[in-house]
């Protein structure tokens, strides 16, 4: 099973940049998308269906903002839109697809970079999500894909010293990530790859991507008891449809 998680930073823009052709050639079994920035009436969903995907879109109420999706060549048994909390569901933050022996989440965690109000919202989301996902993890094997907007460790960010007080690398966010993993999860990329300078997001400013001044904030977080199923991982930094790049996981 080949799984892609990808913050596309606007599906309409990504389609214009060749997203559909790339998906056709790469042919993942499951695609978890974040930051759609569109409702389903604003783009041609059939281009994905023609590739063989069952498509489940969960847009934010605010147009041009947030939103998540799961596209799957393996038809899920069940799909759940949202988490039951209006403040988060209005922003289209979480969608879950249940398969025979695995539940796959596509999640777009809030960013706190715009100021104190959104940082507080982000911390509220993290507190909720910890309890929310713990419940599912006790019941079933899960894979939590998405843009977490958190760099876990210094190896995951190009300049950990200067970014010490930046949202996304705050000590309380990093501690949350550690506690989250201790619930019984594994960071699949780091399970297989301990190399530095591996990032999934770059600012559009100051040629950050060209100079590889990035952040690793996109993850496949898997139930720990399935870590022996991890066959391959990768960060596809040469794929350019967004300020993020796709992250790849292959499971036996």
At residue 178, the 3 state secondary structure works out as: helix
**H-type alpha helices, the chain:** 11-16, 19-26, 46-49, 86-89, 116-139, 171-182, 188-192
- Percentages helix, strand, coil for the chain (3-state, rounded to 5) are 30, 25, 45
Annotation marks residue 147 as catalytic? yes
Backbone conformation region of residue 84, classed left if phi is above 0, alpha if psi is from -120 to 50, else beta? left
Beta carbons within 8 Å of 206's beta carbon, 6+ residues apart: 213
Closest CA to 192 of 137, 247, 246: 247
Q: How many CA atoms lie within 13 Å of 213's alpha carbon, on the beta-carbon side?
A: 11
Q: How far apart are CA 119 and CA 173, in angstroms?
A: 10
**Considering 147, 156, 187, 218, which one is annotated as catalytic?**
147
Which residue numbers are catalytic?
Answer: 147
């Amino acid at each position: 099973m080949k799984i892609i998680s990808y913050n596309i930073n606007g599906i309409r823009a990504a389609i214009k940049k060749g997203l559909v052709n790339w998906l056709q050639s790469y042919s993942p079994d499951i695609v978890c998308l974040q930051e759609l920035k569109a409702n389903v009436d604003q783009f041609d969903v059939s281009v994905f269906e023609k590739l063989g995907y069952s498509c489940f879109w969960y847009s934010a109420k605010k147009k041009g903002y947030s939103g998540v999706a799961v596209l799957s060549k393996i038809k899920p048994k069940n799909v759940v839109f949202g988490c039951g909390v209006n403040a988060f569901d209005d922003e289209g933050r979480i969608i879950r697809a249940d398969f025979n022996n695995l539940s796959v989440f596509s999640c777009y965690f809030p960013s706190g970079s715009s100021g104190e109000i959104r940082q507080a919202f982000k911390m509220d989301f993290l507190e909720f999500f910890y309890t929310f996902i713990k419940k599912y993890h006790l019941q079933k094997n899960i894979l939590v894909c998405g843009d977490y907007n958190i760099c876990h460790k210094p190896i995951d960010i190009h300049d950990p010293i200067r970014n010490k007080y930046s949202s996304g690398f705050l000590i309380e966010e990093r501690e949350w990530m550690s506690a989250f993993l201790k619930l019984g999860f594994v960071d699949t990329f780091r399970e297989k790859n301990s190399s530095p300078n591996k990032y999934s997001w770059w600012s559009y400013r100051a040629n950050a991507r060209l100079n590889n001044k990035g952040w690793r904030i996109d993850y496949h977080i898997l139930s720990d008891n399935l870590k022996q199923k991890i066959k391959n991982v990768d960060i596809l930094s040469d794929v350019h449809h967004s300020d993020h790049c796709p992250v790849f996981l292959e499971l036996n």
